[in-house]
Structure 1
Amino acid sequence: MIESITDSFIRKITRSLQRGKQVHRRLPQGGLIYIDRPLPFLVIFRHPEGQPDHPTADFLKANAAYIISHQERTEELRPLVQSIANAMADQFGAFMIIEVMAALPSTTDTDLFKVLGPEHQLPTTTETIVQELQNIKLSGIHTSVSTATNKPLLQEPLCLIPEEDLKKHSILMLGLQLRPIYKNDSTGKIYPLLLRTLREKVANAIKKTVFDFVNVQTTHHPVHFQALGRQAVNRVVWRIDKQLTSISDQFRFLLLVTPVNNNEAWEEFKKAKYEKAPTFHYRLMPVDADQLKRKLYNISIEKVDDPTLGYLFRDKRHELDKMLTMLADRNKPDFLYSSMQLYGTVDDQLLKIAEGILATVPESDHKSSPEIIPVSEFVAQAEQEIAFLKEQYPGLESGVDVRDDIVGLIVSKGRLNVGTDAKIPRHRAQALIQHEVGTHILTYFNGKAQPLHQLYVGSPGYEELQEGLAVLSEWLVGGLDHTRMRILAARVVAVYHLTKGCSFTDNFWRLKDAYHFDDETAWDVTMRVHRGGGLTKDAVYLRGLVHLLNYLKEGNELEPLLIGKIRQDYIPIVQELIYRKVLRPVPIKPRYLLDSSIQPKLEQLKSGISVFNLL
């Protein structure tokens, strides 16, 4: 920290910006200057004299260029702001300053925001910020915006740049006054959730306003308003990212909630003539859920001042908390309730689609039992597909493990696990390889290629989009048959009845009697849904497919969804981080995106088709 802002300090700051470098320095009395890179704008906050207002100052930290100082330091702050503004105006052709302030408790203003702008100059920029602030929606709070002249900012004692200098250097000065609804008037205590939400929304309103200004007034033309956000990520972000990943890596959730005695339990169930629920055994728990939770909540996510990354980390912590709760409650009734929170339930619309599939799709589109591919041959084909992906990205370290404690196929930590007794129809082999390798392994390593670990560990709720993509890939390579679609629908129906209190035996008999599944298929669906105490995850396959088809029908592209293990509503977040150059382009593409013979099917998806049209 420096004791005063000297001429030498100002020259160093200005020179750094002119050389294209980042500026991050302490100012007197705990002030801060942060400029991510040369940019045609600056956001300023000055603590009122004798009344430091740190909550309002925090609004600035979501921006890529800001100064936090004190009103009593205005005299020495003035030449610093002028030097930065003049240098950046010379570089970009114009410059914009937004000064943020909190309304004083004594003020009679009832509006949530007041914009202070020039009376006759650049009315469109003022209109933009007013419109963006009016668009902010807060539960139970009326968002009103008023406007006033910026004259108080151009006169003593607040003036940072004289009015004639603003005109000479094409600098626009705006003020943004907030009514501090995030603070209790009588106690001064902060409402942290409201502060966090409002801070993020105001930061976006500022970026959109600056975007409008720079595109019209300067030589700088960002492709999107989010491109004006911070590109540099401070060390605390990477530390927290690693801490969350470390906790996630300490347990393999799906393996821990999947029975290890599937074959024995099936024989036991058959012996009891399907009238007595089987006893399942699980792997020994490798972690103490309570200790891991303590570590989880000791992670200082509140130190992340980037709203987008802070949201990602809080979201992941919430998911890990739920998973650890489920592991602690494995084989107990509470397991189901946490599962419903984590993976959701079955709504009426999804149930209707599932029941429609079971009613209209023929029970089998093969007249005789399909040929089963030997496990060794399937493994060879899967390894060939992994080699194809590795050609695109040499950092892809994957493989196939054949295990006797696995039922069917499971991808875990970027590797494909195949059960020794896996019965895979030959006509479905390539579809399943695209499902497991072309989707799950591919997105794992696309995520690993990013600096942010959460993209390969998986964002909360990523399973729905993942499985939707995986099932769609089966259709794209021509392997999504009637039997597969009926099984996906059966899982939805079984999950629905599970959440309504249905027992294992009742769900099994419903699949057999009402929907005519053979014994082993009915067993497999029921086991998957009831494992651990009731796992609602299996509803995500069909739900993800339905949502994905709607997403593509709206004209959206498939490729951005493959950047890692994300959920659909993360797309704007991922896109923002790409604009900000925090994330990189997708390095690996699945075979179906590179195969010209599959393009007509991709075009068909854009025209809009339902799950019923896939068969």
Structure 2
Amino acid sequence: MTEAITESFIKSVVGSLKRSRQVRRRLPDGGLLHIDRPLPFLVLFRHPAGKPDHATADFVKAEAAYIIAKEEQTAELALLVKEIAKAMSEKFGAFMILELFAAADHTPETPLFRVLGPEEALPATVNVLKKELEQIQIENLPVTVGISSNQPLLSGPLHLLSEDELKQMSCLMLGLALKPVYRNLTTGDAYPLLLRTLRKHLSNAVKKAVFDFVRVQTTHHPTHFQALGRRAVVSAVWHIDKKLASISDQFQFLMLVTPVNATEAWEAFCKSKFKKAPTFHYRLMPVDTDLLKRKLYNIPLEKVEDPTLGFLFRDKRHELDKMLTMLSDRNTPDFLYSSLQLFGGVDEQLLKVAEGILTALPEPEVHEDISIIPVHEFAALAEQEIAFLKSQNESLSTGVEIRKDIVGLLVSRGKLYIGAEAQIPRNRAEALIQHEVGTHILTYFNGKAQPLQQLYVGVPGYEELQEGLAVLSEYLVGGLNHDRLRLLAARVVAVHHLTKGCHFTDNFHRLIEQYKFDKDTAFDITMRVHRGGGLTKDAVYLRGLVHLLQYLKDGGELEPLLIGKIRQDYIPIVQELIYRKVLHTAPIKPRYLLDPAIQPKLEQLKTGLTVFNLI
């Protein structure tokens, strides 16, 4: 409902803020007042008279406290801003107003940003804003920053507050003129990708400048500049999050690209004397991929005002699109090309690491008497570990299922599936339980405990970090033996040759003849890599481990990585959302993080161990 800026409206807004409530009110002609919670700053934008500028207005929507109005509303807006500033200055000791507008001058000499600040004593806040703006880097866009007097904001027909009023309220008034390179000057249409990128960078620069002002001038002491970001999330966010999760939950990708006739295919391959590639069969497709794509792109992501959440949702939509394309291309050559987009391939450095492991460990370990743990006994151990996780979070509800149509172990939607014919060495049981339960199930339910469902369905590219964590957990509990490392390295080599056009039989024979794998193991590796038409996912295990070891060497901590199914470069995003209290810390910890005996091993990893130090 649109509301006019009347005396009663202003009184209601200020009253809500004094009671520490969120304010979100629609103003005439598309205007909006959004104040997330009582904060010592306000960002505003006014549409020029008769010339709405929605592209520039979008910049302020990234902030926790903003007003979008019209120049024609200046008189009423001045009263509203004054009363908000007065109330918040009384609460925090000082207040800051930042007005954004598009620069009228579009000449080549016009700086991309022009900061308008006080003339007499240039406050540190202006310098911080200038410095942060200068650090923005956008390809093919020269970033220049100028500084001018804020006097035009303090006088004239469009001024909101006089200099005397600002002094009385301990209020700082800044302006920021943006050269409108983000829109077509002829048509007025925005360049959406540039606008989105610039908006994200500008929002961080503004928050850092506000953080400097708030920290020095007010009684408000945020722990981090991101803590000044939006906490209240508009209903569209939860709707979109739910829609994306719903589409993701309609198909189990790994199940649909895993052969259901592995045993029969192996027997047929043996009968052909390993000369004819086996034919694999898959589960029937439970969805119409084209219809799901239509639903996917009907989700109105443009309604998300928050740039961080907007990025997260666009990223997920892009991944779901690729997955659905892969499923529709299953058992065709195009499957491989989509897999390379989704899971990546094998770069030169990773191939060197894999070949180095296979050179350092040229032969499988000799086991005189391998003890195989019965499947039901292993399932019981897994159930015990699930009970341990549940003791930390009662809402955890999952289990273990033994199935004939599963080869080995697989976790899907937080549930562990065990192949009825799985051959699990007893000395690897604990490592595999930490891999499947202590990592995959744990991160699924840590993600489930978050408000955003994307953290349990998985952000795009989460598999690399997931598998890196899972393999590292094997090492921490003493179960990462030579054969396991050889297996992970062989998967990388097989993926490399797959992408170079190698056929099933050639990959199979190379693993036996060059790398000394037995026929059963070679078949399993080759089947996993060639399934569906070529799945490059198996390279992520070793790649994830290599990148995770580098992360620990650089001073990173393991615990933040367990908040859900995220990827490594999402850590700043997750941390930002925690600062903003959109997310909270993970409720469940794996056994190895709670075991004092394992801590020295974890500390040693931080000294800079590589994969070769694990051998």
TM-score with structure 1 length normalisation? 0.99
Describe the superposition over 1:190-211 as per-residue Cα deviations: whole angstroms up to 9, x where unpaired: 1111111111111111101101
| Deviation readout 1:543-587 (Å, 9 max, x if unpaired) | 000000000111111000000000000000000000000001110
- Residue of structure 2 equivalent to 1:363: 363
Q: Distance in 2 between matches of 1:135 and 1:597?
A: 45
Corresponding residue number in structure 2 for 1:315: 315
Q: Which residue of 1 aligns with 2:414?
A: 414
Aligned residue for 1:383? 383
Gapped regions of structure 1 (runs ≥ 5):
none
1:294-333 alignment runs, 5 A limit: 294-333=294-333
8 Å contact from structure 1 (residues 363, 482) kept in 2: no
Residue 100 (structure 2) aligns with: 100
Is 2:560 the counterpart of 1:596?
no
| Aligned counterparts, 1:4-43, within 5 A | 4-43=4-43
| Partner Cα distance (2:2, 2:539) in 1 | 59
Name the residue aligned to 1:548.
Answer: 548
- In structure 2, stretches of 5+ residues that fail to align are none
Q: Distance in 2 between matches of 1:194 and 1:575?
A: 25
Contact 1:21–1:38, Cα closer than 8 Å, also in 2: yes
Give the TM-score, by structure 2 length.
0.99
Q: Give distance in 2, aligned partners of 1:564 and 1:4.
A: 44
Asked if 2 retains the 8 angstrom alpha-carbon contact of 1:362 and 1:482, the reply is: no
Q: Shift in Å at residue 364 of structure 1?
A: 3.0
Q: Would you say 1:212 and 2:209 are equivalent positions? A: no
SS in 1 for 2:416: strand
DSSP 3-state at the match of 2:539 = helix
Alpha-carbon deviations, 1:89-144, whole Å to 9, x = none?
A: 11111110000000125667521111000123353111110111111111111011
One-letter code aligned to 2:579 = Y
In structure 2, what is the Cα distance between the partners aligned to 1:318 and 1:367?
Answer: 46
Q: Residue deviations 1:282-329, cap 9 Å, x none?
A: 111111111110111011111111111111111001000000000000
Give the corresponding residue for 1:278: 278
Output aligned runs, 1:186-585, within 5 Å: 186-585=186-585
Question: 2:180 matched to which residue of 1?
Answer: 180
**Residue-pair matches, total:** 615
Shift of residue 367 of structure 1? 3.5
Secondary structure in 1 matching 2:275: coil
Amino acid aligned to 1:256: L
Structure 1 partner of 2:157: 157
Secondary structure of 2:61's aligned partner: helix
Cα separation, 2, equivalents of 1:257 and 1:187? 48
Q: Alignment partner of 2:242: what SS?
A: helix
Distance in 1 (CA, whole Å) between partners of 2:395 and 2:108 is 61
How far is 1:405 from its partner? 0.2
Q: One-letter code of the match for 2:158? A: L
Q: 1:241 to 1:106 in 2, by over 3 A?
A: closer
Q: Point out the more displaced range, 331-340 or 99-108.
A: 99-108
1:608 to 2:591 alignment: no
Structure 1 residues 598 and 489, CA, compared in 2 at 3 Å: closer, same or farther? same
AA in 1 matched with 2:412: S
Give, in angstroms, the shift of residue 3 of structure 1. 5.6
How much has 1:338 moved relative to structure 2?
A: 0.1
Per-residue deviation, 1:365: 3.3
Relative to structure 1, the CA distance from residue 122 to residue 21 in structure 2 (aligned partners, 3 Å threshold; closer, same or farther) is farther
Please report the RMSD computed on the Cα atoms of aligned residues, expressed in angstroms: 1.1
More deviation, 366-375/20-29: 366-375
- In structure 2, the CA distance between the partners of 1:523 and 1:131, relative to structure 1 (3 Å rule), is same
Checking the alignment, whether the CA contact within 8 Å between 2:95 and 2:170 is kept in structure 1 is yes
CA distance in 1, matches of 2:415, 2:325: 26
After the TM superposition, which of the residue ranges 560-569 and 155-164 deviates more from structure 2? Answer: 155-164
Asked if 2 retains the 8 angstrom alpha-carbon contact of 1:119 and 1:149, the reply is yes
Q: Which AA in structure 1 matches 2:574? A: V
SS of the residue aligned with 1:392? coil
In 2, the alpha carbon distance for the partners of 1:41 and 1:363 equals: 66
Q: Output the amino acid matched with 1:102.
A: A
Counterpart CA distance in 2 for 1:541 and 1:217 is 50
Tell me which residue corresponds to 2:169: 169
Where does residue 141 of structure 1 map in the other structure? 141
* Contact 2:3–2:25 (Cα < 8 Å) also in 1: no
C-alpha displacement of 1:222: 0.5
Structure 1 distance, partners of 2:591, 2:382, is: 13
Output the CA distance in 2 between the equivalents of 1:548 and 1:471: 10
Structure 2 residue 33 is the aligned partner of structure 1 residue 50: no
How many angstroms apart in 1 are the aligned matches of 2:178 and 2:474?
52
* Equivalent-residue separation in structure 1 for 2:436 and 2:366 (angstroms): 24
How far apart are 1:54 and its partner, in Å? 0.9
> How far 1:2 sits from its partner (Å)?
4.8
AA in 2 matched with 1:459: V
Aligned residues of 2:364 and 2:516 also touching (Cα < 8 A):
no
CA distance in 1: counterparts of 2:576 and 2:367, whole angstroms: 51
Residue 363 of structure 1 deviates from its aligned partner by 2.4
Distance 1:108 1:427 in 2: 70
